[in-house]
Chains A and B, each alone.
Chain A
């Protein structure tokens, strides 16, 4: 024993191992709590994110320019396709306006203050992405001061991209839907089809090889067709109803042939965006 304590290097090694595991175990176990991160860490992250904003601004500019060039390349075909849809759009907008007004009035009649489809939004721009293989985090420049809370869903333009996992005063982290983290990649969802069949399930996995989202626990696959739209169902209370996720790509049986998984092509281009929208549900489910 005497000899063991006289060996300085061995003791240092032991202390390093204990400290490493201690720190990691503590931060892994507290990271899903509401009050984390601690104030010191929040302030540190905010200071770092402030300077990051200075660098992110030109970077996002360059990113936008490069995507504009690729847009320019496709302009002609896209323009033709879009022109054919303009007529529909105006008609649908008028319909939507009428339906929304009617919905509002009916809600007032019923004294319904808020339903699963009601939400507020906050826009934020992306500062950086974690240089890491498993922490699929984006840092955005909005935080508690803008009313952002943990677990709020995040959209980019057309579709869902992830969930808020860490909130500081003026910055937050978004975990992308392509993550492996089992707590944060699940979204209660449903497939919208014309026959009013309510097919619900949980988007619970991201297929790395194809880039598709996988919807599991589907109650029935009857009537599901390629191209049908998938939205969040609002069940569970964390996410409002009606956020667009993507389109059905196909149905596969699992390895044992027991359950069906619906593969979804995500609507959000998970690559070319610089601005995201945080969705704040007005109905509070589980706290």
Chain B
């Protein structure tokens, strides 16, 4: 097996790990069912995908990651196809399109990009679900009780996990740098 395919397997395992963590963290720690005032949605998979997208050069690869992981996410967690399947590749390609503006990934850049993508994805899901009458909250409630806490929680987690995740992402895509 070439180093390239080994690294790709590593990337897939990394993303899948974050995928499972999303569901498990929600289940184990953020499982607010009795009092549903604040809803926090862990989005570690998005975090990992944003970090990888900042480092991977091939847009085709990014698009494939977005569609495949979006599809799995939709099917396993939502039971509906069409939310992450569309929004995730859109966000990732968007990041890829504008990342030439940044010379080198740094915590400041990446956290702002993650912030914007998280806002985009959550708002997109809200709008689509509202359109299909799956969501009930109105815009004010959505921003105050769902989007706000979700952004805050995920930003804190991003800060805590930045150093190990960024190093791991660097290492997982580094075969390109070596050959350049």
Interface residues of A (CB under 8 A from B): 16, 19-28, 31, 37, 41, 44-45, 48-49, 51-52, 55-56, 59-60, 62-63, 126-139, 165-166, 173, 176, 178, 180-181, 206, 208-209, 211, 266, 269-271
Distance from B10 Cβ to chain A, minimum over Cβ atoms (Å): 16
| A129 with B20, Cβ < 8 A, contacts A24-B132, A31-B79, A165-B79 known | no
Is A134 in contact with B134, judged by CB distance below 8 angstroms?
Answer: yes
Is A49 in contact with B36, judged by CB distance below 8 angstroms?
Answer: no
Residues of B within 8 Å of A132, CB to CB, are: 41, 77-78, 125
Is B34 in contact with A270, judged by CB distance below 8 angstroms?
Answer: yes
Residues of A within 8 Å of B27, CB to CB, are: 56, 59, 63, 126-129, 138
Let me know if B43 is at the binding interface, CB within 8 A: yes
- In the assembled complex, the Cα of A211 lies from the Cα of B35 at a distance in Å of 5
Interface residues of B (CB under 8 A from A): 16, 20-28, 31-37, 39, 41-43, 72, 75-83, 85-86, 90, 125-126, 128-129, 132, 134-137, 146
Tell me the nearest residue of chain B to A28, going by C-beta.
B132
Residues of A within 8 Å of B136, CB to CB, are: 134, 180
- In the assembled complex, the Cα of A26 lies from the Cα of B83 at a distance in Å of 12
Residues of B within 8 Å of A166, CB to CB, are: 79
* From B36, B42, B76, B129, contact of A211 by CB (8 A): B36
Residues of B within 8 Å of A31, CB to CB, are: 79-80
| A24 with B83, Cβ < 8 A, contacts A56-B24, A134-B136, A208-B36 known | yes
- In the assembled complex, the Cα of A178 lies from the Cα of B85 at a distance in Å of 26
28 contacts between A and B (CB under 8 A): A19-B86, A24-B80, A24-B128, A24-B132, A27-B80, A31-B79, A44-B72, A48-B76, A51-B16, A55-B24, A60-B28, A127-B23, A128-B23, A130-B26, A131-B22, A131-B26, A132-B77, A133-B146, A135-B78, A136-B33, A139-B76, A166-B79, A173-B79, A178-B33, A178-B36, A211-B33, A270-B34, A271-B32
Tell me the nearest residue of chain B to A178, going by C-beta.
B33
Is B20 in contact with A130, judged by CB distance below 8 angstroms?
Answer: no
Residues of A within 8 Å of B22, CB to CB, are: 131
Is B20 in contact with A128, judged by CB distance below 8 angstroms?
Answer: yes
Is A20 in contact with B79, judged by CB distance below 8 angstroms?
Answer: no
Distance from A9 Cβ to chain B, minimum over Cβ atoms (Å): 11
| A133 with B20, Cβ < 8 A, contacts A31-B79, A176-B33 known | no
Is B20 in contact with A51, judged by CB distance below 8 angstroms?
Answer: yes
- In the assembled complex, the Cα of A48 lies from the Cα of B23 at a distance in Å of 12
Is B31 in contact with A129, judged by CB distance below 8 angstroms?
Answer: yes
Known: A131-B22, A131-B25, A132-B125. 17 other contacts (CB 8 A): A20-B82, A20-B128, A24-B80, A24-B83, A27-B81, A45-B76, A48-B72, A51-B16, A56-B27, A129-B31, A131-B41, A133-B135, A135-B80, A139-B76, A208-B37, A209-B35, A211-B35
Is A131 in contact with B23, judged by CB distance below 8 angstroms?
Answer: yes
Is A16 in contact with B75, judged by CB distance below 8 angstroms?
Answer: no
Residues of B within 8 Å of A129, CB to CB, are: 23, 26-27, 31
- In the assembled complex, the Cα of A133 lies from the Cα of B145 at a distance in Å of 10
Residues of B within 8 Å of A56, CB to CB, are: 24, 27
Residues of A within 8 Å of B137, CB to CB, are: 133
Residues of A within 8 Å of B25, CB to CB, are: 131
- In the assembled complex, the Cα of A31 lies from the Cα of B79 at a distance in Å of 8
- In the assembled complex, the Cα of A230 lies from the Cα of B169 at a distance in Å of 53
- In the assembled complex, the Cα of A24 lies from the Cα of B42 at a distance in Å of 23
Is B42 in contact with A131, judged by CB distance below 8 angstroms?
Answer: yes
Residues of A within 8 Å of B20, CB to CB, are: 51-52, 55, 128
Is A134 in contact with B33, judged by CB distance below 8 angstroms?
Answer: no
Tell me the nearest residue of chain B to A182, going by C-beta.
B133
- In the assembled complex, the Cα of A41 lies from the Cα of B71 at a distance in Å of 10
Is B134 in contact with A181, judged by CB distance below 8 angstroms?
Answer: yes
Residues of B within 8 Å of A49, CB to CB, are: 76
- In the assembled complex, the Cα of A18 lies from the Cα of B12 at a distance in Å of 29
